[in-house]
């Protein structure tokens, strides 16, 4: 009576085994669900090798090592490079003396170590192991042993923040423990297709009328917009940013960029709720490495990805290949959006079908 869906229970089992595997890289683990091997890691791995095996090679290549000690506290692990942090899809794993636990405040301390190196809203992945005298930590404060209490919490937070900052301070001279790109190499491909420039510049939708405010001493005839645009009042554009007009309630000021994004959102939702978003064929198909959990998500939500305009095909192992992707506007990063959607689905951060479509379309505008 207390069981969740089969998919949720399978995901919970995978998380438990994956956490144990990360805590004990010296031990081999194999997890089989529904006659399928979901996780298989050999014994005797290094911690970076185990991370790559559990979290995936692609994420592992974005991590930097951390090693920092302050007094009785020692912090070891890995943190994500600032340029690779994203608003969704993060992974966090905390250990104290090899025991997994959760602590939102320590995660925030780690994020504080990034300072302004990441964009607001981005959430870097973190793998941190706190080594401390067992007498200075109480591990019996939670029924499931998921929380701990440090006697000197501020010292632990400071050690984590300083450790992250020290790791990022050597960013130019350091390389992640995976295969790093060569200096001067081009950024990762974001999909190769022909892009349409239409609607890329929302300012083109309006005629500039800045002269009205630039020359206040002169009389300027502000004509009404043509009837076919649907406007029956004069429009005024300020600094290529705001549209002003008079309504019965008073002066209305519209952020034209926000209005343009709303138009894109409504158009995309209309397509998705109808026949679906057309995908554009890629000149060079994009191969993407996923975790076992993410691979299952892609298979389970094939209809959703098809409706969104993605043509996804298994490529062997944990990889999939994208042959087509949506392109609602020229600035849209279809590959990054695909990764974020997969991560959100794998993390159970979506509700019903309509919510999934709305959440995804919000990344388009």
Q: Reply yes or no on whether the pLDDT at 342 is more than 70.
A: yes
Task: Give 31's strand partners.
Answer: 39
Pick from 111-125, 139-153, 197-211, 259-273: least confident: 197-211
CATH topology for the 55-169 domain: Ribosomal Protein S5; domain 2 (3.30.230)
Q: Reply yes or no on whether the pLDDT at 347 is more than 80.
A: no
Band of pLDDT at residue 216, cut at 50, 70 and 90: low
Angstrom CA distances, 260 to 96, 210, 265, 330, stand at 49, 20, 9, 14
Mean pLDDT value across residues 60-66: 94
Radius of gyration of the chain (CA): 25
Structure tokens at 292: 């076992």
Q: Reply yes or no on whether the pLDDT at 165 is more than 90.
A: yes
Model confidence over 128-160: pLDDT tens digits?
Answer: 999 999 999 998 887 777 889 999 999 999 999
**Mean pLDDT of the chain, nearest integer:** 78
Band of pLDDT at residue 177, cut at 50, 70 and 90: low
Structure tokens at 150: 């440090």
Helices (H), 56-131: 57-60, 104-112
pLDDT (0 to 100) of residue 223: 47
Model confidence over 249-270: pLDDT tens digits?
Answer: 888 888 887 887 777 777 777 7
Model confidence over 269-319: pLDDT tens digits?
Answer: 776 666 677 788 888 888 888 887 788 888 888 888 888 889 998 877 678
pLDDT (0 to 100) of residue 309: 87
Model confidence over 309-324: pLDDT tens digits?
Answer: 899 988 776 788 899 9
C-alpha torsion 46→25→15→37, nearest 10: 90
In the chain, where are the structural domains located? Answer: 1-45, 55-169, 198-215+229-274, 276-362
Following DSSP, what letter does each residue of 308-324 receive, concatenated? TT-EEEE-STTEEEEEE
CATH topology for the 276-362 domain: Ribosomal Protein S8; Chain: A, domain 1 (3.30.1370)
Mean pLDDT value across residues 61-81: 94
């Amino acid at each position: 009576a207390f069981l969740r869906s089969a998919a949720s229970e399978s995901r919970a089992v995978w998380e438990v085994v994956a956490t144990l595997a990360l805590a004990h890289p010296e031990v081999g683990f194999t997890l089989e669900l529904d006659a399928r091997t979901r996780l298989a890691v050999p014994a005797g791995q290094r911690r970076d090798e185990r991370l790559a095996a559990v979290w995936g090679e692609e994420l592992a290549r974005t991590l930097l090592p951390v090693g920092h000690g302050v007094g009785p506290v020692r912090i070891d692990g890995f943190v994500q490079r600032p340029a690779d942090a994203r608003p969704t899809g993060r992974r966090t794993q905390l250990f104290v003396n090899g025991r997994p636990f959760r602590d939102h405040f320590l995660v925030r301390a780690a994020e504080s170590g990034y300072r302004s190196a990441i964009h607001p809203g981005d959430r870097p992945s973190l793998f941190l192991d706190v080594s401390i005298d067992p007498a200075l930590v109480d591990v019996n404060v939670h029924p499931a042993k998921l929380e701990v209490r440090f006697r000197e919490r501020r010292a632990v937070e400071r050690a984590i923040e300083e450790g992250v900052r020290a790791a990022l301070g050597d960013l130019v001279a350091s390389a992640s423990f995976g295969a790093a790109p060569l200096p001067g190499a081009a950024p990762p491909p974001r999909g190769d297709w022909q892009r349409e420039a239409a609607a890329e510049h929302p300012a083109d939708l309006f005629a500039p009328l800045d002269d009205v405010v630039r020359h206040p001493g002169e009389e300027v005839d502000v004509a009404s917009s043509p009837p076919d645009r649907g406007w029956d009042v004069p429009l005024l554009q300020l600094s290529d940013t705001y549209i002003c007009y008079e309504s019965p309630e008073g002066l209305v000021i519209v952020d034209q960029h926000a209005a343009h994004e709303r138009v894109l959102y409504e158009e995309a939702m209309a397509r998705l709720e109808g026949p679906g978003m057309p995908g554009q064929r890629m000149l060079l198909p994009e191969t993407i490495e996923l975790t076992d959990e993410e691979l299952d998500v892609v298979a389970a939500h094939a209809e959703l990805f098809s409706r969104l305009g993605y043509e996804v095909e298994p490529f062997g192992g944990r990889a999939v290949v994208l042959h087509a992707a949506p392109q609602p506007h020229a600035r849209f990063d279809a590959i990054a959006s695909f990764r974020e959607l997969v991560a959100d689905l794998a993390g159970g951060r979506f509700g019903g079908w309509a919510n999934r479509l709305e959440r995804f379309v919000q990344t388009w505008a």
